[in-house]
Amino acid sequence: MDPLLSVRSLRVEATSSVGTIVAVDRFDLDIYPGDVIGLIGESGSGKTTAVRSLLGLTERNVRIAEGSIYFQGEQVLGDGKNHLDRLRGRHVGMVFQNASSSLNPLLKIKTQMRQVLRVNQSAQRAAAHQRRIEEVISRMGFHDPKRVLRSYPHQLSGGMRQRAAIAIAIVSEPEIVIADESTSALDVTTQAEVMDLVRELATDMGHSLIYVTHDLLLAAEVCTRMAVMYGGEIVEEGPTASVIAAPRHPYTLGLLRSVPMWAKKAPLVGIEGTPPRVTPGFIGCRFASRCAHAVGACSEADVEWTQRRDSGFRCIQPKGAPLHTGNG
């Protein structure tokens, strides 16, 4: 089976008055039909910048420095091409973190859904659009879907708004849906409801999903695969079960140890220190400065990706291999 979306060596740089920062680097990702991929990392790890770059939606001071992207085998980025805007809405739908700010406050939900259909399904008639809008909104678990359609965003609760935002993102049947911290702003109960909805959409309606989150626990519940990001790079990627049961990268391990539910009898450990500022000249493992297992070689050269069957990592001292013992 061919991947729907392939990202190769994506590098994204952000320039500000203090200099250039590499926000995303050596980013490779394949998304297959039906995949639910969790893109996990702490704030500043580059996960949001990475997924926004997939649609060419970076902020003004941020630019894609290199890399190629293929959609259904066709190159949409690289070799002088940039057709990322063609993916927007039609092939890739995006649900943002906070629906209070991602929905236009002056337009009714129905208007916002209709706009998406008009531009992405322009061949269809208005009546077909109307049917599709009603069909999608009725699946979102609203008590009164008709009322939601004619409401303005501020007339809905936070959870309803987020579900409306999901409806807008999927109304034109994109193959891939990106959910960027889409439930972080909600309370726990609503979060669970919206997560169930997202999972249902992904499995029943055949969308592939990229779920961007800092919440490992939440991702583990929904995702079939996980990609852990640190300092702009994917440091570990694989099926959810194997990433959680047998993490290879010390950062993944650190993340798992800081989740109360999985720490089990072992004491709950945080990861000391803060992520580095990755400038263009940065060499070596991004995590070395915080890593308990770091050796000299970690900072001497960039760490290459190791692929083992269906999972891979970016570490020269993976867990499972003999760890360097330092002085002791």
Residues making contact with another protein (CB under 8 A): 52, 55, 57, 85, 88-90, 93-94, 96, 98, 101-107, 112, 115-116, 119-120, 150, 152, 154-155, 165, 168-169, 172
Is 95:178 a contact under the CB 8 Å cutoff? yes
Is 227:236 a contact under the CB 8 Å cutoff? yes
| Distance, CA of 95 to CA of 47 (rounded, Å) | 14
Instruction: Between 105 and 260, name the residue whose CB sits nearer to another protein.
Output: 105
Question: In degrees, to the nearest 5, what angle opens at C-alpha 217 toward C-alphas 212 and 222?
Answer: 60
Q: For the chain, give the number of residues.
A: 328
Closest separation between CB of residue 116 and another protein, Å?
Answer: 5
Instruction: Between 93 and 238, name the residue whose CB sits nearer to another protein.
Output: 93
Closest separation between CB of residue 317 and another protein, Å?
Answer: 39
Instruction: Between 152 and 262, name the residue whose CB sits nearer to another protein.
Output: 152
Instruction: Between 128 and 241, name the residue whose CB sits nearer to another protein.
Output: 128
Instruction: Between 131 and 154, name the residue whose CB sits nearer to another protein.
Output: 154
| Distance, CA of 252 to CA of 103 (rounded, Å) | 34
- Residues 42, 45, 46, 51, Cα dihedral to 10°: -40
Instruction: Between 93 and 232, name the residue whose CB sits nearer to another protein.
Output: 93
Closest separation between CB of residue 112 and another protein, Å?
Answer: 8
Please give the distance of CA 281 from its chain centroid, rounded to a whole number.
26
Is 250:233 a contact under the CB 8 Å cutoff? no
Strands (E), 79-157: 81-82, 92-95
| Distance, CA of 185 to CA of 174 (rounded, Å) | 24
Closest separation between CB of residue 17 and another protein, Å?
Answer: 14
Closest separation between CB of residue 196 and another protein, Å?
Answer: 23
Closest separation between CB of residue 262 and another protein, Å?
Answer: 33
Instruction: Between 51 and 285, name the residue whose CB sits nearer to another protein.
Output: 51
Is 3:59 a contact under the CB 8 Å cutoff? no
Q: What backbone torsions phi and psi does residue 137 show, to the nearest 5 degrees?
A: -70, -30
Closest separation between CB of residue 37 and another protein, Å?
Answer: 18
Name, in order, each residue with C-beta under 8 angstroms of 192's C-beta and a sequence gap of 6 or more.
none
